[in-house]
Chain A
Amino acid sequence: MISYIYDGSFEGFLTLVFEAYERKAYPETIMIKGKVQPLLFGEPVEVFTDESKSSRVWRGLIKKVSHGNARKLYRAFLSEQSGVEMLLFRLISDVFDRNNTKLDDFRQAEILELHRLDKMIGREVHRMHAFVRFRKSKDGLYFALIEPDFNVIPLIGSHFKKRYTDQPWLILDIRRNYGIHYDLKEMKEVRIIERSRGLRELYHSTPEGIEESDDGYQELWRTYFNSVNIPERKNLKLHLQHVPVRYWKYLPEKHNTSK
């Protein structure tokens, strides 16, 4: 049993699985580089992400478990919950070592936990499909900022690509400093390298970068939102359950800036 350090990427994690098998040394703890905690005994082993190793593990997994279940493992990884790597490692080694490929015996605590994480991620993906709000910049780019609870950028692109094929768009996760950009042809991952201009301020204000008429639609949207409310039915508790306050930041309907 040893401790491993990897770079935090899914490929990195799969490489780690590969190396743990190669060394015949299962992990005791798995840590992300930069977030390392001091160990009581010994030195951790650093794993360097290796595309060929990670894809071998992935292909091996897909051969054994259904596609849906392999995807469940990936999605759970994106939850970034502490300890999720160990959970996934145990589930994966169960698949490889004991041929326990049926990940739907929910009587088992770890399979139930995987299921719970998958549901949690699913809810966040759904929320992002709902709560992304584009603004239109002067040069025609529709851009949105998000701060999701989990790392869902890899899971939301296809939805927006299908929907907005005829407009260029950009969605940035400013908590994780990266996002996706669609340029009418393809979708690419982009990283925020330099934050010289406060992206948040850019999004909220009306600098030259943003077309005047765009605010027209934000304002119309607010008007609409306020007009469909039925005061006799007011139920704030239910409202907050559906739209938790932490998502308000990027919802124009929750900012009353009406002049």
Chain B
Amino acid sequence: MNEGTQEKLKILADAAKYDVSCASSGSKRKNKGGLGNSDGMGICHSYTEDGRCVSLLKILLTNHCIFDCAYCVSRKSNDIKRAAFTVKEVVDLTINFYRRNYIEGLFLSSGIFKNADYTMERLVRIAKELRTIHKFNGYIHLKAIPGASDELIREAGMYADRLSVNMELPSEPSLKKLAPEKNYQEIYKPMSSLRHAIIEHKEEKKKSRKAPLFAPAGQSTQMIIGATPEHDLHILSLADSLYKQQQLRRVYYSGYVPVLSDSRLPSISHPPLLRENRLYQADWLLRFYGFTVNELVDEANPDLPFDVDPKLGYALRYRHLFPVDINRAEKEMLLRIPGVGVKSVRLILQSRRFGKVTYDHLRKMGLALNRAKYFISCPGNPFSVMGEHTENRLKRMILSDTTSRLHKSSQLNLFASPALT
């Protein structure tokens, strides 16, 4: 490796870092004598100083771009150093990082040079070389470039584990304003095409185990939060439809980092990290806890509260559904208790087959009782008196109990699986 590669890596990793997706999970690719193996569990090999998971070699093939999106450091009108990797450089870096156990695989994105097809073709070529020549079974995430031909997009799916087309912004008017060359139609087109291909391949796989893999980790997308005026209600509804209609596996929310000044962009000094965190928590509740968007935000409260996490916010507003009987309630309802996560619910369900679970048992199991105690009934719990409290009073009681911890957790768990209980 020469100095040139070093310099390119600096520029092209730096330019790729604002894409926050980092997952390397959800794909099973068995090693048959080559290099690498994916067993479906992602691994974070390191963490940046801002606490984000480093799982993949996340780079741009190039930061040359013919577009001029206002929020993007690589935009045409921005005066920065430009660089481009060769196919061989990307392949060598991926293989050699992987062999040393630095990474789970490659996340390759790119600025658009010449045109969409020309760019996409190179991304596909790199993935193809890794899979066919180097027998690489690690994780590959490719960016699907909007506007690229359907054939290329589908070819990408033959080699990649995951593909993503970024929504960029949570509404089309916002996109029009900040990225005039883009539109939702060009974003939805490759997304839908991939969705069809993924479903087709799944069917084939059911018939024959030998059928080839096609983007086994599905699709993801990301949108920038805080650069445009949309409410959380709008953002979460959009995410919900992307999960349900487009069958995306993940939606990422990227708090806007003010790196450029532009009259179309808000002038903020810090990225909206707390809001971003609340959106991840809400997103988590939608995907794994069976919540609906309207239970978390609605017309009257279109934004997630800052002072409490979305689950506590829900419980405070839906007080009539509580207290939940620890020894009798269905799993779905146990999951809705603030301070009780999926793992605790499993412990409760398994244990109560043997007899009554008491307050003391819960304490020993490590539940966050300072929050949960107001919302549960079980032998030995002196706290479930919530009927007597108003929403605000109850909130104050809980916050004064847990202020320091809540503050900590809202600052800390910014990424991936927001520790949500």
| B 1-39 binary contact with A (CB < 8 Å = 1; else 0) | 100011001110110111000000000000101111101
What are the interface flags for A210-237 relative to B under an 8 Å C-beta threshold, 1 for contact and 0 otherwise? 0001001111110111011111111111
Question: Which residues of A sit under 8 angstroms from B46, Cβ to Cβ?
Answer: 130, 225, 243, 251, 253
Residue in contact with A225 in the complex, picked from B35, B48, B101, B259, CB distance below 8 Å: B48
Residues of B close to A132: CB separation below 8 A: 101
Residues of A within 8 A of B258 (CB): 232
Tell me the smallest distance from the CB of A107 to a CB of chain B, in Å. 5
The CA-CA distance from A237 to B355 in the complex, in Å, is 41
Name the distance in Å between B291's Cβ and chain A's nearest Cβ: 25
| CB within 8 Å for A233 and B273 given contacts A216-B1, A219-B6, A224-B9 | yes
Q: Is A104 interfacial (CB 8 A cutoff)?
A: yes
Using A142-B99, A223-B9, A239-B49 as known contacts, say yes or no to A112 and B350 having CB atoms under 8 A apart: no
Chain A residues closer than 8 Å to B361, beta-carbon distance: 106-107
Residues of A within 8 A of B18 (CB): 230
A105 and B54 contact, Cβ closer than 8 Å, known pairs A227-B17, A237-B412: no
Interface of chain B residues 254 through 275 with chain A (CB within 8 A):
255, 257-259, 270-271, 273
CB-CB contacts of B96-110 with A at 8 A, as 1s and 0s? 110111100000000
Q: Is A242 an interface residue (CB 8 A)?
A: yes
The residues in A between 144 and 188 inclusive whose CB is less than 8 angstroms from any CB of B are 144, 160, 162-167
Question: Which residues from chain A contact B288 at a C-beta distance below 8 Å?
Answer: none
Known: A216-B1, A228-B54, A241-B412. A164 touches B45 (CB 8 A): no
Encode A240-253 as 1/0 by CB contact (under 8 A) with B.
Answer: 01110000000101
Verify B37–A163 contact, CB threshold 8 A.
Answer: yes
Q: Does B357 contact A (CB under 8 A)?
A: yes
| B364 and A109 within 8 A (CB) | yes
Could you say which residues of chain A place their CB within 8 Å of the CB of B259? 232
User: Is A107 a contact partner of B351 (Cβ separation < 8 A)?
Assistant: yes
B350 touches A104 (CB 8 A): yes
Determine if B77 is an interface residue (Cβ-Cβ < 8 Å). Answer: no
A126 at the interface (CB under 8 A from B): yes
Q: Which of A102, A221, A227, A231 contacts B10 (CB 8 A)?
A: A227
Q: Is B388 an interface residue, CB under 8 A from the partner?
A: no
Cα–Cα, bound, A132→B351 (Å): 37
Q: What residues of chain A lie closer than 8 Å to B49, measured between beta carbons? A: 229, 234-236, 239
Asked if B13 and A163 make an inter-chain contact with CB atoms under 8 angstroms apart, the answer reads no
Interchain CA distance A218-B9 in the complex, whole Å: 13
Interface centre among A104, A112, A131, A221 (most CB of B within 10 A): A221
- With a cutoff of 8 Å between Cβ atoms, the chain A residues found around residue B35 in the complex are 163-167
Asked whether B36 lies within 8 Å of A227 as measured between CB atoms, the reply is no
Q: Assess whether A135 is interfacial by the CB under 8 Å rule.
A: yes
Decide yes or no whether B58 CB sits under 8 A from chain A: yes
- Whether A39 sits at the interface, judged by CB under 8 Å, is no
User: Known contacts being A106-B361, A112-B365, is A133 close to B101, with CB within 8 Å?
Assistant: yes
Decide if A90 is an interface residue (CB 8 Å cutoff).
no
Nearest residue in B to A162 (C-beta to C-beta)?
B37
- Across the interface, A235 reaches (CB within 8 A) one of B13, B355, B414, namely B414
A-B contact pairs, 24 of them (CB 8 A): A105-B353, A105-B355, A107-B354, A109-B364, A126-B43, A134-B101, A142-B99, A164-B35, A217-B1, A223-B6, A223-B10, A225-B54, A227-B14, A228-B14, A230-B48, A230-B50, A233-B255, A233-B414, A235-B49, A235-B411, A238-B414, A242-B51, A243-B46, A251-B46
